[in-house]
Amino acid sequence: MLVQNLLLLLVQNLLLLLVQNLLLLHVQSLLLLLVQNLLLLLVQNLLLLLVQNLLLLLVEKPLTASRLETFYCCSSRISYYCSSRTSYCRSSITSSCCSSRTS
């Protein structure tokens, strides 16, 4: 009788260990999946930023010698130069750029 009880206890403990290991494997798999998804999101965001920056570079073409135009701050006597008409002055974020200096 004692041997049977000990064997039953041993089998119960082995089954409990098996269930614990299966649960641990499941949790590890979920954590790995979470980390993979986070890394994928990071890579996607970096690629999106890269594409956005490339598109901005394509849209805002640099001034070439053939169409060289100088832009100044609108309504400002300070001779800050702007890179384009759509950019803002360095002195103020609200002051836009014009193609000629206003007095």
Write down the pLDDT at residue 59: 80
As a whole number of angstroms, the distance between CA 52 and CA 58 comes to 10
Q: If you write DSSP's letter for every residue of 58-78 in order, what string do you get?
A: HHSPPPPGGG---EEETT-SS
As a whole number of angstroms, the distance between CA 103 and CA 78 comes to 10
Write down the pLDDT at residue 58: 84
Q: What is the pLDDT along the chain (103 residues), one digit of tens a residue?
A: 989 999 999 999 999 999 999 999 999 999 999 999 999 999 999 999 999 989 888 887 654 544 456 666 666 655 555 666 556 565 555 566 666 544 4
Write down the pLDDT at residue 56: 85
Write down the pLDDT at residue 73: 67
Write down the pLDDT at residue 91: 56
As a whole number of angstroms, the distance between CA 23 and CA 86 comes to 59
